[in-house]
Amino acid sequence: MTLLEIKDLTQLFSGICAVSELNLNLEQRELVGLIGPNGAGKTTVFNLVSGFYQPTHGQILFQGRNLARIKPHRISALGIARTFQNIRLWKDMSVLDNILVAQHYQLGYGLGSLFFRTPRYLKRERDIRHRALELLEIFKIDKFAGEKPGNLPYGMQRKVEIVRALSSGPKLLLLDEPAAGLQSTDVTELITLIQWIFDQFDLSIWMIEHQMKVVMSLCSRISVIDFGRLIARGTPAEIQQNPEVIKAYLGDDQL
Amino acid sequence: MKRFNVPILLIVLLSTLMGLAWFEVIDLYIQTIILFMGINIITSTSLNLVNGNMGEFSCGHAGFIAVGAYVSSILSVALFTKSKVFGAPLLPPEMAAYGFPLVLICGGIAAAFTGLLVALPSFRTRDDYLAIITIAANYIIISTIINIDTIGGARGFMGMRRVIFAMEECAEIPWMILWVFVFMVLSIIIIRRYMSSTYGKGVEAIRQDEVAAEIMSVNTNRIKLVTFMISSGLAGIAGGLYAHTIGYINPKSFDLLKSTEALVMVYLGGMGSISGSIIAAVVFTLMIELLRPLQIIKWVAIPLLLIIIMQFRPEGIMGHRELSDIFPRLKKFYKFK
SS3 percent helix, strand, coil of chain A, rounded to 5, is: 40, 25, 35
Q: Who contacts B110 (Cβ-Cβ below 8 Å, separation ≥6)?
A: B67, B68, B71, B236
Q: Answer with the residue of higher pLDDT: A232 or B333.
A: A232
Chains A, B: CB pairs < 8 Å: 88
Q: Which residue is closest to A108 within chain B, CA to CA?
A: B199
Distance CA(B15)–CA(B19), nearest Å, equals 6
| Three-class secondary structure of residue A91 per DSSP | coil
A-chain residues near B219 (CB < 8 A): 71, 73, 104
Distance CA(B115)–CA(B120), nearest Å, equals 9
Return per-residue pLDDT of chain B as tens, 337 residues: 455 678 888 888 888 888 888 888 888 899 999 999 999 999 999 999 999 999 888 989 999 999 999 999 999 998 888 877 777 788 887 788 888 999 999 999 999 999 999 999 888 777 788 889 999 999 999 999 999 988 888 899 988 888 888 888 888 888 899 999 999 999 999 999 999 999 999 999 999 999 999 999 999 999 999 999 999 999 999 999 999 999 999 999 998 888 988 998 998 888 888 999 999 999 999 988 888 888 778 778 777 877 887 788 877 888 777 777 777 766 665 655 4
DSSP B197-226: SHHHHHHHHHHH-HHHHHHTT--HHHHHHH
Tell me how crowded residue B288 is: count the other CB atoms within 10 A of its CB: 17
Distance CA(A206)–CA(A34), nearest Å, equals 7
What pLDDT is stored for residue B205 in this prediction? 95
Distance CA(A109)–CA(A116), nearest Å, equals 11
Report yes or no: A64 and A77 within 8 Å, Cβ to Cβ.
Answer: no
B193 CB within 8 Å of a chain A CB? yes
- B64 lies in a domain? yes
For residue B217, give how far its alpha carbon lies from the nearest alpha carbon of chain A (Å). Answer: 4
Question: CA quadruple A163, A164, A167, A171: dihedral positive or negative?
Answer: negative
For residue B47, give how far its alpha carbon lies from the nearest alpha carbon of chain A (Å). Answer: 19
Distance CA(B46)–CA(B58), nearest Å, equals 11
- B337 lies in a domain? no
Report yes or no: A177 and A209 within 8 Å, Cβ to Cβ.
Answer: yes
Antiparallel, parallel or unpaired: β A80-82 and A172-176: parallel
What is the share, in percent, of chain A residues with pLDDT greater than 70? 98
Distances (CA, A) of A47 to A65, A89, A161: 17, 17, 17
Assign A75 a pLDDT band (cuts: 50, 70, 90).
very high
Give the Cα-Cα-Cα angle B160, B164, B166 (nearest 5 degrees). Answer: 110
ipTM rounded to 2 decimals: 0.90
Most confident of A108-122, A238-252, B152-166, B285-299: A108-122
Antiparallel, parallel or unpaired: β A221-226 and A172-176: unpaired
Amino acid letter at A16? I
Domain with B170 in it: 2-332
Tell me how crowded residue B147 is: count the other CB atoms within 10 A of its CB: 10
Query: Residue B172 gets which letter from DSSP?
Result: -
Out of A50, A72, A125, whose CB is closest to B198? A125
For residue B191, give how far its alpha carbon lies from the nearest alpha carbon of chain A (Å). Answer: 9
Total residues belonging to chain A: 255
To test the contact with chain A by mutation, choose from B192, B194, B198 the residue with the greatest count of A C-beta atoms within 10 A, namely B198
Distance CA(B232)–CA(B109), nearest Å, equals 9
What pLDDT is stored for residue B25 in this prediction? 81
Average pLDDT taken over every residue of chain A: 91
Distance CA(B19)–CA(B275), nearest Å, equals 26
Residue A65's DSSP bridge partners are: A62
pTM of the predicted model as reported, rounded to 2 decimal places: 0.91
What pLDDT is stored for residue B336 in this prediction? 53
- B165 lies in a domain? yes
CB contact under 8 A, A104 and B202: yes
Query: Helices B127-146 and B96-122: crossing angle, nearest 10°?
Result: 130
What is the total count of domains within chain B? 1
What pLDDT is stored for residue B332 in this prediction? 61
Tell me how crowded residue B299 is: count the other CB atoms within 10 A of its CB: 14
Residues A143-199: tens digit of each pLDDT = 999 999 999 999 999 999 999 999 999 999 999 999 988 888 899 999 999 999 999
> Any idea where the domains of chain A sit in the sequence?
2-89+170-250
Query: Residue A190 gets which letter from DSSP?
Result: H
What pLDDT is stored for residue B1 in this prediction? 43
CATH says A2-89+170-250 is which class? alpha beta
User: Within chain A, how many helices (H) and strands (E) appear?
Assistant: 10, 10
What pLDDT is stored for residue B61 in this prediction? 94
Residues A203-223: tens digit of each pLDDT = 999 999 988 889 989 999 999
Residue A11's DSSP bridge partners are: A19
- Is the pLDDT confidence value at A247 over 60? yes
Antiparallel, parallel or unpaired: β A57-62 and A229-234: unpaired
B215 CB within 8 Å of a chain A CB? yes
- B76 lies in a domain? yes
DSSP H/E element including A25: strand A16-27
Residues B291-299: contacts with CB under 8 Å, at least 24 apart: B299/B257
- Is the pLDDT confidence value at A255 over 60? no
Q: Who contacts A47 (Cβ-Cβ below 8 Å, separation ≥6)?
A: A53
Residues A7-48: tens digit of each pLDDT = 999 999 888 889 989 999 999 999 999 998 888 889 999 999
Out of B209, B211, B217, whose CB is closest to A104? B217
Instruction: List residues of chain A with CB under 8 Å from any CB of chain B.
Output: 50, 52, 71-73, 76-77, 81-82, 84, 88-93, 97, 100-105, 107, 109, 111, 114-115, 117, 121, 125, 128, 164-165, 168
